[in-house]
Chain A
């Protein structure tokens, strides 16, 4: 926790007042809720919509919603949705064009603004939003959809009290403790028959919201209890990734028989990129009406696993699944750093859990290292 930031205690039963306060400020609440036997991010109306008493069990290619022994609201790890769904919508109209006589009028879509309060953003997800900020806001061309939605967002982070079976944020240096990038951060504590939240302020807006809540200053013992909760998460990480020389490892192994071995399993389905909180690729379709009087340009999420993704004149550059998997992992763990100054992976584990055949980038990296001739041999296979 940051030096000098204010720490307050909010009792469990008062959590809904935070929701009310955000609604009164004009925010649309989105956060974790149970749907289709999973904890997804969706619109919420009150704290009652939180997954109280639910958790998840995740392994490569499997996710199961389960009951907890206690009544925790945030006692789970990241699920099938990422916040990019709200900041970078999966399908988005960009503009329309209409013909009248010999003239054509362009009508930009928008405004794209939305005022979301993102409730329950984890440390790895704050890092992912930061990575997407660099992509959409960082260069010469700023994405207006993302910008308007991002600027409007109020971020309520939640410190992880447990880690999932596929998490490895500690390896990527993105968690489990959220240090900045939020308006408020909550740590949920269930200890000695008490259930309360430590509330940390990260912005002036956050401080204003806290002023409307029935909080009291946290004691040193309470701050220590919250700290212990996050330490538990750190100790529980389900996966690890050795990041030493990662970029060079991939760049010198464009040719490696390992890619063909992955391709025997990889479905080229694109699920890994769709669930990834940092993947930003999209394509556009131009659609017209039957009479040829109106046209619309629509953007939709795309993936480097589709054959059309690398279609150039005459065909697809990456026609094999091996080439597409190599592109994906090399972008995530190596070339992203060249483009944006940090890896495209924040260690959230989604691509591992939601791959229908359980392909695990931490295992694939380990296997590639074992076959790598340009570096000292490392032991093959097995979790470290």
Chain B
């Protein structure tokens, strides 16, 4: 094969905790191989690399929470051939999307001495609400093996193997004992997108839903099962309202149970 020019990779940060970028840095040995396979052209978190675009692949971490970022994401899109969102913030608005359920002005008044200097949007939103996204990688944080798989697959021009089915599928392949059935521990695994390797059930905990909704999630049925295990309506609201609170199926489910609480 003729030698190819190395594809240019950029890593962008919006409203986020940097955890997903850290997953990339945690790739250790593979990171060196990655650096051999791509030209890391823009990655302020890790290097002084600030090469100008256009970029072949942009990894975008974080959600859109300010008018400035709502502009900047369009620049990133224009400069990128492929735009991949990494993590719950970029894909669903993140934990900071909890503001979406309240009036953000109340928070600003409560937190800042001079609220007039704060320029923020009423909602924290996913990148795909603003620009076209070519691939979404789930997780809070993302799984580094999945990140490598996505980058590798795109470099080779194939579809990444990141199945959208339930965490239960991974849990069962590992041969773990189901914490919901055998221990009565509420678990979000049956409605949560695979990818973490059933990390919480490995430690005998219920899944927290870090990877957001699976394909066709039946959240209403799982909530009924949780209530049957002794969880309260409030527990259900909180479970669905975490890192992926504003992912559509999770948002609807938490709102349904919030309404129950109000009418009770």
Contacts and interface: CB of A to CB of B under 8 A. Distances in A.
Interface of A: 35-38, 40, 61-65, 80-81, 85, 90-91, 102, 263-271, 274-275, 285-292, 300-303, 305-308, 319-321, 353-357
B126 interface: no
Contacts, number: 140
A339 to B, nearest CB: 24
A354 B187 CA distance: 13
A295 B222 CA distance: 39
Contacts of B191: 267, 269
Contact of A288 (B156, B163, B169): B156
B182 A63 contact: yes
Contact of B225 (A80, A302, A356): A356
Contacts of B172: 90, 270-271, 274-275, 301
Nearest to A268: B216
Given A37-B183, A62-B184, A80 B177 contact: yes
Given A267-B221, A271-B178, A306 B163 contact: yes
Given A267-B218, A274-B172, A292 B180 contact: no
Contacts of B149: 287
B111 to A, nearest CB: 39
Interface string B216-242: 111011101100000000000000000
A308 B214 CA distance: 12
B151 interface: yes
Contacts of A81: 175
B25 to A, nearest CB: 16
Interface stretch (B14-22, B32-40, B86-94, B252-260): B32-40
A79 to B, nearest CB: 8
Contacts of A292: 155-156
A175 to B, nearest CB: 23
Contact of A38 (B169, B182, B216): B182
Given A269-B189, A270-B168, A274-B169, 18 more contacts: A91-B173, A269-B191, A270-B169, A274-B173, A288-B153, A290-B34, A290-B155, A291-B33, A291-B37, A303-B169, A305-B165, A306-B165, A308-B164, A319-B216, A356-B168, A356-B190, A356-B222, A357-B224
